[in-house]
Structure 1
Amino acid sequence: MANADLPPLCAKGCGFYSSSQTKNLCSKCYNDFLKEQISKSTAEVKVDPSSAAPNPSVSVDSSSVPTPSKLKNRCESCNKKVGLMGFSCRCGKVLCGVHRYPKEHSCNFDFKTADRLILAKENILVKADKLESRI
């Protein structure tokens, strides 16, 4: 096979072959390039000067921007992988089948008060008419 038949090497010099469709980068370097472009475009959107407040003394703190949380896929009691079959408790924990009951994972959620509040909202107070002449 001649040298002319081989595709060119990656422009970043990683040693893999590239193509003109991926801007003369190998597939890994091209994916890294795309991720970099996406992160730059989202950073520009967050710090867009045209949408900034007219008050120059107000500054935006980057730590106040919420970051997407990871999917919880482990039991919070035994750290066992639960995958899609995790049980979520009212206290907010994701648990395995063994620790799904409140006594098993020492749940601190007050079920009695929460259920009483739900019942109070659903069952309104019904009073009978006090004047018997209307009956």
Structure 2
Amino acid sequence: MANANLPPLCAKGCGFYSSSQTKNLCSKCYNDFLKELIAKSTAEVKVDPSSAAPNPSVSVDSSSVPTPSKLKNRCESCNKKVGLMGFSCRCGKVLCGVHRYPKEHSCNFDFKTADRLILAEENSLVMADKLESRI
């Protein structure tokens, strides 16, 4: 005898309970469904129009797939290995402990203008109310 209060089982038949918010799938199957959906949307598939064969050649555009960026682990001034202890400057360089100061690595970042822009965004102009009767 089944209880009427139990949620329905997963639509893929894995045996776990599902909900209508997850398209009648359990949480694991729903996460797999989302991963497949994202993979399909990011991979742009190009079909070769010149071949009229029933099995056209399919190529994946490799420029749309992001490549992991290589971590910089050397000082850009003295080329010393810094590993995890490297300091990153606002100019975008990774530096050792000796060259971490702007004067030591001849930094070309304009700190004064950048800080003035931050202050202008944070401190908006405050004006008093023009009607004195509201005070």
Judge which range, 21-30 or 96-105, deviates more.
Answer: 21-30
Q: CA RMSD in A?
A: 14.5
Judge which range, 29-38 or 101-110, deviates more.
Answer: 29-38
Judge which range, 9-18 or 121-130, deviates more.
Answer: 9-18
CA contact (8 A) 2:86 2:94 kept: yes
**Given the alignment of the two structures, is residue 19 of structure 1 paired with residue 19 of structure 2, yes or no?**
yes
Distance (Å, rounded) in 1 between the aligned partners of 2:75 and 2:69: 16
CA contact (8 A) 2:47 2:58 kept: no
Higher strand share: 2
Higher helix share: 1
Report the TM-score, using the length of structure 1 for normalisation.
0.52
CA contact (8 A) 2:77 2:105 kept: yes
> By how many angstroms is 1:71 displaced?
1.3
Report the TM-score, using the length of structure 2 for normalisation.
0.52
In structure 2, do the counterparts of structure 1 residues 43 and 102 end up closer, same or farther at CA, with 3 Å as the change threshold? same
Q: Deviations over 1:81-126 (max 9, x none)?
A: 1111100001111000110011111111111111111111211211
Overall identity of the aligned pairs, in %: 96
Secondary structure of the residue aligned to 1:51 is coil
Q: How many residues align?
A: 135
Distance (Å, rounded) in 2 between the aligned partners of 1:8 and 1:130: 63
